[in-house]
Structure 1
Amino acid sequence: MSGTPSPSTASTARASGPARASRASKVSRTPRFRPRARRALVALHVVFAVGLLGSDAGVLALVVAGWRRAATAAAVYPAALLLGDWLLLPLALLSLATGVLLGLGTQWGLFRYWWVAISLVVNTGGTLLAWFALLPGLRGAAHAAAAGQAVADPGGVVRASASACAVLTATVFLSYLKPLGRIRRPVTRVTSDG
């Protein structure tokens, strides 16, 4: 009996050495959330992302109304700016932050799967465009409308907001369908020096 290893001893012997160290280092490199914390973070991320899409759709509806009827510009552009400043940008930042946390703390990673990497790039780009293109356009339109002047480029504000809605909708489909699989990493060959 002492000469035959028990199944638990045999499995321990097989898992020792470099293979065991490699598995242990992979596990420790990727911090994981506990299931309850992960579900809460996923719920927050979905709330922020859906809120972002809704606020952007609201901004789009307002800027289309201002573009189609110049008489409503004095009311709709300041309202669109209010939505942009108070909802759109904060929700974009919160959606991006919770998405990054989910990528870092779950098996999906940030750059392991195409759909996650594309979503990260698109959401980062969309947040930057909202900050540096959409909101300044809304601000200019709101100030012009409040001063009783014609809005310089109402079509540009509509295009920016419609593009943001389209990109956000595409990101929702990416997250739901999860296409394209894993990102392939280059295979490194181990050579022996002896």
Structure 2
Amino acid sequence: MPNPSLHRCSWANGDDALMAKYHDEEWGVPQRDPRMLWEMLMLEGFQAGLSWRTILHKREAFRKAFAHFDPAKVARFGEKQVEKLVADAGIIRSRAKIEATIGGARIYCDMRERGEDFARFCWSFTDGKVLVGNGRDLPASTPKSEEISRELKRRGFKFVGPVIVYAWMQAVGIVDDHAAGCFRRTRRR
């Protein structure tokens, strides 16, 4: 159980231990693993129109359904797997989002085959540096998320609009948007 006496971002306060644990251990931590960056981008796509709480509570079911987000395995999914996923009550059963994830796996694999590392690609937009928000304002999107969104769309990714991309940037630590006073906030030097 996460420590209830810690000051967290407001969205992680409350009685949901899984949300608090996610906040304390994952959200905003710079993620450099290409597969995990891709997994989180796909999960953020599933969040479209929903809450992260819903996705987080279904994350293990998503991992099971999508071969632990192994892009090479997901890229080989065909219509039979799509139908099975559409019927899986443990995940969000949106055919468009399921097909976008399979397509995203194929794009990821194509990038890798061309020698392009997904983590280097993701972090190239900030020269490998974490962007630090002011701790007060949480924009829905930024010019940087718009830029990344455009490039992801150009490559064929779906469900990667600027708002989804910004939420993903926060989740994987490309942006540190922990609130002022949050124990996880990066301190400016």
Using structure 1 for the length normalisation, give the TM-score: 0.23
Higher RCO (Cα < 8 Å, 6 or more apart)? 2
- Greater C-alpha Rg: 1
Name whichever structure is richer in helix by fraction.
Answer: 1
